[in-house]
Chains A and B, each alone.
Chain A
Amino acid sequence: MKRTLTLHVNGDNYDISVRPHAVLLDVLRDQVELTGTNESCRLGYCGACTVLLDGTPVNSCMVLALDADGRKITTVEGLAHGDALHPLQQAFVEHGAIQCGFCSAGMITSAAALLEENPHPTEAEVRYALAGNLCRCTGYVKIVEAVLAAAEQMADSSMEAERSTT
């Protein structure tokens, strides 16, 4: 029997009904129709389906949709501001951190959570935080470079913002 729930995704509310065993990943893609979040291993290994649940990065293939009822969900679609890419997305483009692109959504969402928690990570901290996001093209060097560059860029712009307000 289907159950109804409310998902708060990227600032919007969605009242939907799901079967109890439906996982968040499928509901986001098929019912909320946000297909930026990718399905790959479906086993919690690869991180292609990473979303933020109340700001915390998780594998959405491992979370029941019912368990996300009423919680704040951020997908990769929620990172950009209108047409302006998130600094991480911009850095991935500029540093060639995207090859086939399949891991990028999860990788960027995971990195966004890292930079929120730790705005100035070391390379080792980036690698540790992204260990659950696999890149089948093995483009890790450029991915790590892009995350470090985005961190720097975000720090610069927040300093500029501070300067312009004072």
Chain B
Amino acid sequence: MKPFDYYAPETLDDAVEILVQGAGDDVYPLAGGTDLFLRARFGEIAPTAVVNLKRIPGLAEVSRADDGSLHIGPLVTLNQLIASPLVDEHSPILAQTAGVMASRLIRNLGTIGGNVCRAAHYADLVAPLMVSDAGVDIAGPGGERRVPIAEFYTGPRETVLDDGELVTGIRVPATTPQVRSRYVNHMHREMVDLTIAGVAVSIRFDAQHRVCEEARIALNAVAPVQQRVPAAEKVLAGAPLTEESIAEAARAASEAIEPIDDMHASSWYRRKLIGVLTRRALQTLSSREDAKTPM
């Protein structure tokens, strides 16, 4: 890793100021560092300076807003997501997803903000955030704004973030007991590996927990950017969740995509995986088993 300078601002304004001044000079915000330092060691990036965000108060907290939405600070670590009673109650899919990511050691460093901003096509939290209809809170030289997670990515490894802009939180809208969600992924190894295909599903059932009123399905690691699959969602909406409808939705999901092909898995294999994973994810919701039980 080449030498770089270091800033540890104590306010968000100072951090934005440093990033604005450093725009174009490879100045990187530092959250968990697990990805930043990895890329620096591989020579993919050569930071001239890093701006450590950890001295800014409040960025590592989970809280509930007055409107019932969940606010997750960008520096909340993956293990914090797993341990947080608020996340468990409000958005268990995020805790469940964090539990399949990396190792315990890395989960103590890696953050939700880093996972989202890195814009990797295999970032596990993105598809679950998409089916949760999450928003990304952004602050920068031009003030604050909120962007739906589905509009946050503009292309492979590209986000809407402008020079000097930082993610200040992830907001997950209020939910109801009728909504159940699940993320299922596949890696070559059981643990400490990268996802080669993942499926996040979220179903809003009727009061009897029988008819699916609304379905959201988002796919991970099969395209340059995570994406919803409306063709599969449509199959499920307005009908009871049955073995037949699940099989049809799984088929629709795998047929709706043109998966990427790389050294980790072929396009053909990823398409097969999406069918299987979509079915498995939906099956966990159709039976009344606790959505938090690990696979």
Interface residues of A (CB under 8 A from B): 3, 19-21, 23, 42-45, 47, 50, 53, 56-59, 61-64, 66-67, 110, 128-133
Contacts and interface: CB of A to CB of B under 8 A. Distances in A.
Q: Helix, strand, loop or mixed for chain A's interface?
A: mixed
A131 B8 contact: no
B52 A64 contact: yes
User: Top 6 nearest A-B pairs by Cβ distance?
Assistant: A132-B103, A20-B6, A131-B191, A132-B105, A56-B108, A59-B105
Nearest to B47: A21
Interface string B29-46: 010111001100100000
Contacts, number: 81
Contacts of A131: 103-104, 191-192
Contacts of A66: 6, 8, 52
B142 interface: no
Size bracket, chain B contacts: 20 to 34
17 contacts: A19-B3, A20-B3, A20-B6, A21-B4, A47-B103, A56-B108, A57-B105, A57-B108, A58-B105, A58-B108, A59-B34, A62-B106, A64-B6, A64-B30, A64-B33, A131-B191, A132-B106
B64 interface: no
A20 B4 contact: yes
B146 interface: no
A58 B1 contact: no
Nearest to B2: A21
Contacts of B1: 21, 23
Interface in B191-226: 191-192
Contacts of A62: 32-34, 37-38, 106, 109
B5 interface: yes
Residue with the greatest number of chain B CB neighbours at <10 A, chosen from A130, A132, A133: A132
Given A43-B38, A45-B192, A59 B6 contact: no
Interface string B68-103: 000000000001000000000000000000000011
A119 to B, nearest CB: 17
A64 B32 CA distance: 10
Contacts of B234: none
